[in-house]
Amino acid sequence: MHGFVHSIESFATFEGRGIRTAVFMSGCPLRCAFCHNPETWSPQGRKVLPEELAKQLLRFKPYFSRGGGITFSGGEPLCQAEFVLDTTTILKASNINVAIDSSISVLNESVISLYQSLDFVIADLKFHSPELYKSECKFDCFETVIKSLSYLHKSNIPVILRTVIIPTINDTIEDINAYFDLIKDFKNITCYELKPFHTMGFGKYEDMRIYNPYQNLPDADMSVVAMLQTHLNNLIKGAKH
């Protein structure tokens, strides 16, 4: 089965642990108002077979010591779960550490098979209510996201969780309490990071002539994000005792 790849970044240190190669898959069903990669929304991309892509990725193997590996990102890698699984199966046969970086907004049999083959999942918990997913991501996937987190917990698959903190949308202590309530029972979450919303990707919206719903929002205040992260860490620590 063919897949469609938008681009490959060979030294993506932010995409999980160690030096990792990020494969940005084409296509995403969400339209997050804070998306920094709108160029990956289209399902069109370089058409490849799993064997071709795996061969290309295995060239980076010498750089994958100390916990590095491959991270499938996007776009939304779960929209091409069968292709990602076929490629992962080849990579795992060569002992490569494989992860995905995903909105976890798709859950079906192919996605479950893919989850079972991964070393860990970098997952976004974008919002803490169905209403915010609908208004800010234009996709009614809150329930699927929570079901996916529950499935990953039951299967004991390690998850690095992330939330982007956006001024006036989800930047209060009450918001963080609501996020924590959703995840407090999931012991497979190895780390929960709050990321600051920033305006660096705004030029892409202008270049692509796409309406930018957050065009009047400022960057998130780093001291607010740090304060919220400390509050979240304390909640998580408290739940462990």
39-78 residues in contact with ligand SF4 (CB under 6 A) are: 40, 74-76
Residues 6 or more apart whose CB falls under 8 angstroms from that of 230 comprise: none
Residue with Cβ nearer ligand SF4 (75 or 196): 75
23 binds ligand SF4 (CB under 6 A): no
7 binds ligand SF4 (CB under 6 A): no
Residues 6 or more apart whose CB falls under 8 angstroms from that of 150 comprise: 186
33 binds ligand SF4 (CB under 6 A): no
123 binds ligand SF4 (CB under 6 A): no
Count of residues that bind ligand SF4 according to CB under 6 A: 11
CB of 182 to ligand SF4, least distance (A): 18
170 binds ligand SF4 (CB under 6 A): no
Among 235, 75, 79, 86, CA closest to 144: 79
Q: If residue 23 lies in a helix (H) or strand (E), which one and from where to where? A: strand 20-25
CB 41 within 8 A of CB 76: no
Please tell me what DSSP assigns to residue 73.
Answer: E
CB of 226 to ligand SF4, least distance (A): 23
DSSP 3-state of 216: coil
Q: Which residues bind ligand SF4 (CB under 6 A)?
A: 28, 30-32, 35, 37, 40, 74-76, 103
